[in-house]
């Protein structure tokens, strides 16, 4: 190798090292600007920093500029109040720095203590809202990118906010649910439009087992989530459209609310195989009268589509929430109700004694466990809507 080529090679290596150092410094500066705990920043690699930065910029754009298509030109009082509070906060911080510069350490400590208490109070209110919600919040763009998730997602799914932000929702949801997710993110759907409501079920990867153990992502199972939300459109600055969801995991166990709740078991075609005694005080049917009767026979005709949708979700996802529907009362009228359902496998029979010949055992049959919540009193008590209501 000639001296000239060797000199060029050395200069090229030096330039490459300088570029890598500059790139690393830029990424380090970017990570310092992210609203993350300082303990997490050293754990971020370059792709994670870029992914989180893009998500942060998009959610910042959404929060600073989204508005309804009809009212986006009007300034919101809450936004003005937040702007004033931000200005006051900056002035207090400037005052703290000035007092520190003047050597007034005691006043600076008192001011910083007050600011910490304010932040703790704000965080406490946020935690309270999330506990009341009973789930977590996720913001998804119409392309399927998760640009924000509340940090309490770890309590329910075992996955962290940092792991998911910036990724596509399709990478963490069941393939059979992708079409339904796309339909709910689609702007051209018939029910869509600014403020259009969304309500559907989806299965998402969960690294927490039913026994409370944590597994890695490759061994993660699926957990059924009830997703409710609405469309949000940002029309100031860069155009950004997203859907804000609240996701509540469906539980296999429910608390019976005194006499306003009853449990029942059904075959897979929703015929009663068991019903507890509470149903008599609520709907006036005796449990033995309902055996073999279809749940569809107790549903108001106008709400059959609601029950059908819930039944399809139950068969495909293993759990479902019916939404509010009308259940017929014996003697006339109806009550508003909501049913939570889950497919349960019956326990396998005990192992045969070693002296007995081995016989192949069929897989245990399935049944549907339901908890029905009665949400109202009897309406239209003199109206008969089905022959089954007659005494």
Is residue 310 within 8 A of residue 201, CB to CB? The reply is no
Give this prediction's pTM: 0.69
Query: Which tens digits make up the pLDDT trace of 184-215?
Result: 888 765 444 445 788 899 999 988 877 777 78
* CA atoms of 275 and 263, how far apart (whole Å): 6
Residue 115 has pLDDT above 70, yes or no: no
Structure confidence at residue 93 (pLDDT): 64
Contacts 24+ apart (CB under 8 A), 146-153: 146/55, 147/55, 147/58, 147/59, 147/62, 147/242, 148/55, 148/59, 152/127
For the domain made up of 258-347+364-389, give the CATH fold: Beta-Lactamase (3.30.450)
pLDDT, position 73: 42
pLDDT digits (tens, 9 = 90+) for 259-307: 689 999 999 999 999 999 999 999 989 999 999 999 999 999 999 999 9
Q: How far is CA 372 from the centre of its chain?
A: 23
CATH architecture of 77-249: 2-Layer Sandwich (3.30)
- Whole-angstrom Cα distance, residue 295 to residue 104? 74
Q: Say which residues have a Cβ less than 8 Å from residue 48's Cβ, sequence separation at least 6.
A: 162
Phi, psi of 312 (to 5 degrees): -65, -40
> Residue written as tokens 């935690």?
127
* Range(s) of the chain covered by CATH 3.30.450.20: 77-249, 258-347+364-389
Q: What is the pLDDT of residues 45-81, one digit of tens each?
A: 888 888 888 888 888 877 776 544 434 344 445 445 5
Residue 312 has pLDDT above 90, yes or no: yes
Q: What is the pLDDT of residues 5-61, one digit of tens each?
A: 877 777 888 888 888 888 888 878 787 778 777 777 777 888 888 888 888 888 887
Tokens found for residue 335: 């009550």
């Amino acid at each position: 190798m000639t001296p000239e080529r060797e000199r060029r090679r050395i200069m090229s290596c030096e330039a490459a090292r300088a570029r890598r150092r500059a790139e690393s410094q830029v990424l380090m500066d970017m990570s310092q600007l992210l609203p993350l705990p300082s303990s997490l920043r050293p754990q971020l690699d370059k792709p994670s920093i870029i992914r989180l930065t893009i998500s942060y910029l998009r959610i910042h754009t959404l929060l600073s500029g989204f508005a309804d298509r009809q009212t986006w030109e009007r300034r919101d009082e809450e936004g003005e109040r937040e702007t004033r509070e931000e200005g006051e906060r900056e002035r207090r911080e400037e005052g703290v720095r000035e007092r520190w510069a003047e050597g007034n350490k005691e006043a600076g400590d008192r001011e910083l203590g007050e600011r910490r208490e304010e932040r703790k109070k704000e965080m406490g209110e946020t935690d309270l809202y999330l506990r009341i919600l009973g789930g977590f919040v996720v913001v998804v763009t119409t392309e399927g990118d998760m640009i924000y998730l509340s940090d309490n997602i770890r309590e329910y799914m075992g996955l962290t906010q940092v792991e998911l932000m910036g990724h596509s929702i399709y990478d963490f949801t069941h393939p059979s649910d992708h079409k339904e997710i796309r339909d709910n993110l689609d702007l051209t759907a018939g029910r869509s439009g600014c403020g259009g409501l969304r309500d559907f079920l989806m299965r998402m990867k969960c690294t927490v087992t039913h026994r409370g153990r944590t597994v890695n992502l490759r061994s993660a199972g699926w957990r059924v989530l009830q997703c409710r939300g609405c469309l949000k459109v940002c029309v100031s600055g860069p155009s950004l459209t997203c859907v804000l969801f609240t996701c509540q995991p469906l539980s296999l166990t429910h608390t019976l609310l005194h006499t306003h709740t009853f449990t029942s078991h059904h075959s897979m075609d929703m015929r009663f195989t068991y019903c507890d005694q509470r149903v008599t005080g609520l709907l006036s049917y005796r449990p033995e009268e309902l055996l073999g009767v279809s749940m569809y026979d107790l549903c108001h005709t106008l709400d059959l589509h609601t029950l059908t949708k819930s039944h399809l979700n139950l068969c495909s996802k293993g759990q479902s929430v019916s939404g509010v529907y009308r259940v017929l009362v014996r003697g006339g009228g109806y009550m508003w109700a909501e049913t939570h359902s889950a497919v349960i496998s019956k326990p396998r029979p005990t192992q045969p004694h070693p002296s007995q010949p081995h016989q192949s055992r069929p897989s245990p049959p399935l049944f549907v466990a339901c908890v029905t919540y009665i949400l109202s009193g009897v309406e239209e008590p003199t109206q008969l809507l089905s022959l089954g209501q007659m005494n």
